[in-house]
Structure 1
């Protein structure tokens, strides 16, 4: 009997912690400073929608550009490792010598991120997407420092896992002689001839295999990601990282498919490569024109590499950004045609055709949506009740909270949860805790032992965190 009461006391004691944390959370829900302190210390699991280059803050990128004396275009704030044609390209050392460096630092910060953005002078979506190419040369040869920056920041704010989109895979396979396939594939899509599309992709796949696509995947896995991951000791008892390959929507079909094949080969052959994604503005001209073709390409690659997981940026659109009819099918195609394992953003779900059936399908098949509140507000101007997070919750679609591009957006994981708590009173602490666990359970970590350990670690972290509130 004594053992029974001891056991009962322990259970009630632990439940008391969870209840106390929940009560304190509700008490501070409208206090942003208190919420920030709360979520800074709360375990946040994983950040699954995460672009490496967009997650590095501008300050270290700028410091790297200055230290390596890159060229700066004084009109566009773009940097280059080599001097380009025109009179606007100046070495950073020259700017420093002329006493102009400090003034240009501020201009660069305003161009490489949303620092001090006033929502007036320039479209917010262009401000965001244009920044990548301006600072990209400053990331070359600087990946190690960037990964350590991300790791250290994650540890400090109690994020235990990141699944980052690190880099495209360099591939020198020439495709000039295959250009005819571009128009042919587009014509087949227009004619709804999926069988012919798959036959053409089969031919291209065979050609890329003959041209040793596997070599490029292997070199990337071993000599870039694997080597750097090991040398930097990225994984330890506090933190784990995995990598997503990605392709660029704006490329011509043959080149995109070539890169997609290499990306799938890479993800299929290394436990560090968690999966595959597709990026670039979804409303871009080529992105919109070839969207259905891209989904069929993922469907084809899945047939070749059934073990490889993939998440797709889908529905990062809103009314006014594209024609209304274009809002009705992107998530549908990503889920039903491409067979995505997760959906990134999913903002246009209220406009999607048969959206209730789509969300029921996502819930039934455990297809989570990666929610990026700060990103969606800045790029799409979608926030508060215009955001569909409560709609997804109502239909029991698994929800994952992510940052997207914390460096450009000048945000972090903590702020995502602060906004979540302030804006959506129907989302409880229990819901939020489930979102955190979703970020590990729905990660693309291949090694079941690693995932199990992260869940176990999360259990311990939450127990420690919730114990803080027994004395409040």
Structure 2
């Protein structure tokens, strides 16, 4: 009897804390400063849709480029360690000597990120996607500094886990003898002949294995991921990091499939590699032309490595960006053909064929949607009532809140929850709290003990957070 009374008291106390936090949130929904303070302190669990290079802020990148005296293209704002043969390039030291450094620093800030974006000079999606190649030479060789920056920022805003899309796997495998597969795969894909595509992929897979694909995965896991993770002590009592491998949509089919196979092998062999993804603009020429083919490739790799999880960028499209008919099938294909475990963005869900049936399927099969509010607003100009957040919520699709590319977008995890609370007043504190727990429960962490510990830690963090309001 005593035990029952004790459990009942704990249960009532937890409800009381939640209601106190809830009443505080409801009272201050229209005050952005108060909301920011509230969500800055609230435990936020994990960030599951997170690009490593796009999450590093421009300031430290620019500082490093200046310190190492990179060359800057004065037209495009791209940087290079060595002077390219074409274009108008100058070193940062030369610009400083001419008294022009401050001017170009500002130009770089506005080109590598959304800082001071005016909505006129360049389309927002172009600014976003073009920025990666401009600053990547500064990141290359400095992954450690980036990981440390991201961990510090996560700790400062009570984020306990990041699942970051970290790096492509370096591979110099020669594929000249397999180039004929590009046209064969596209021909079969154009007829939606899945059986023919799978047969071609099987032949291609055998050839890639014979070219020692496992060696590239093993080298990446041991000498890059594991070494950085251990040397930097990324995991500790307050924070955990895991990594997603990814492939690039714009590549030719053979190259992409080779990278995808190696990415799956890597994820299959390392507990630090949580899963696999596919990136690059979804509306790009090759992305659109080969989209269905890519989904079949994921299906094939899953047949070989059934334990590997994967989340797919799907439906990061909107009316006007592509033709209307191109909005009707990408999420469908990612789920029904590729068998994705999570969906990233999913903005075009309202346009998808049989969208209600698709939403019910996602809910029934616990396929979460990674919601990226700031990203969707900047890149696609989709926000508030036009954003499908409410549609996913109404159909009980599991929701996780994430940042996407906080550095380029000049945002953070706190702002995502501020936007959520301001724009969708029917979302209660208890629902928001569920989204936080979703970010751990639906993570791809392979070690069950690690996930359980993160959930236990989240319980303690919420208790501390909610206690503040019970004392008011």
| TM bucket, shorter chain | over 0.9
Query: How do residues 29-428 of structure 1 correspond to structure 2 at under 5 angstroms?
Result: 29-86=29-86, 88-428=88-428
Q: Which runs of 5+ in 2 are unaligned?
A: none
Change (3 A) 1:4 1:431: closer
The Cα shift of 1:15 comes to 2.1
| Separation in structure 2 between the aligned mates of residue 209 and residue 33 of structure 1, nearest angstrom | 55
Q: Provide the rounded CA distance (Å) in 2 between the counterparts of 1:424 and 1:266.
A: 40
TM normalised by structure 1 equals: 0.98
1:16 corresponding residue in structure 2: 16
Secondary structure in 2 matching 1:222 = helix
* Cα pair distance change 1:311/1:19, threshold 3 Å: same
Q: What are the Cα deviations for residues 392-448 of structure 1, in whole angstroms up to 9, with x where unaligned?
A: 011010000000000000000000000000000111111100000000000000000
Q: Which residue is 1:458 aligned to?
A: 458
Residues 2, 234 of structure 1: alpha-carbon distance in 2 compared, 3 angstrom cutoff: closer
> 1:2 Cα deviation (Å)?
7.3
Kindly state the Cα deviation for residue 86 of structure 1 after the two structures are TM-superposed: 3.1
Instruction: Tell me the secondary structure at the aligned position of residue 242 of structure 2.
Output: strand
CA distance in 2, matches of 1:2, 1:103: 71
Q: How far apart are the structure 1 equivalents of 2:301 and 2:71?
A: 40
Please state whether the residue corresponding to 1:86 is helix, strand or coil: coil
Aligned-residue offset at 1:3: 7.2
Instruction: Go from structure 1 to structure 2 and tell me whether the alpha carbon gap of 1:124 and 1:9 turns closer, same or farther (over 3 Å shift).
Output: same
Give the whole-Å Cα distance in 2 for the aligned partners of 1:7 and 1:241. Answer: 34
User: In structure 2, how many angstroms separate the alpha carbons of the residues matched to 1:125 and 1:87?
Assistant: 24
Residues of 2 paired with 1:75 and 1:124: CA distance?
A: 18
Change (3 A) 1:470 1:254: same
TM-superposed CA distance for 1:4, in Å, is 6.5
User: 1:69 Cα shift?
Assistant: 1.2
Question: Hey, what's the Cα distance between the residues in 1 that align with 2:100 and 2:157?
Answer: 36
SS of the counterpart of 1:461?
A: helix
Deviations 1:148-200 (A, max 9, x none): 00000000000000000111001111112211111111110112221111111
Secondary structure at the aligned position of 2:84 is classed as: coil
Aligned equivalents of 2:455 and 2:42: distance in 1? Answer: 15
Distance 1:329-1:22 versus aligned 2 partners, 3 A rule = same
Q: CA deviation at 1:76?
A: 0.7
CA shift at 1:471, angstroms? 2.2
Partner SS state of residue 166, structure 1: strand
Secondary structure in structure 2 of the residue aligned to 1:320: coil
Distance 1:324 1:470, change over 3 A: same
1:443 aligns to 2:443 (yes or no): yes
Deviation at 1:348, TM superposition (A): 0.2
1:8 Cα shift?
4.5
Counterparts in 2 of 1:334 and 1:9: CA distance versus 1, 3 Å:
closer
The alpha-carbon deviation at position 13 of structure 1 amounts to 2.9
C-alpha separation between the residues in 2 aligned to 1:8 and 1:245?
45
Unaligned runs of 5+ in 1: none
Superposition deviation, residue 6 in structure 1: 5.8
213-222 or 7-16: bigger deviation: 7-16
1:103 CA displacement: 1.2
CA–CA separation in structure 1 for the residues paired with 2:114 and 2:330: 28
Deviation at 1:110, TM superposition (A): 0.3
SS in structure 2 opposite 1:282? coil
SS at match of 1:411: coil
Matched residues, number: 472
Q: Report the CA distance between 1:9 and its aligned residue.
A: 4.2
1-side partners of 2:55 and 2:349: how far apart?
Answer: 26
By how many angstroms is 1:5 displaced? 5.7
Residue deviations 1:88-130, cap 9 Å, x none?
A: 1111121122221111100000000000001111101001001
Structure-2 change in CA distance of 1:93 and 1:433 (3 Å): same
Q: Deviations over 1:240-294 (max 9, x none)?
A: 0000000000000000000000000000000000000000000001000000000
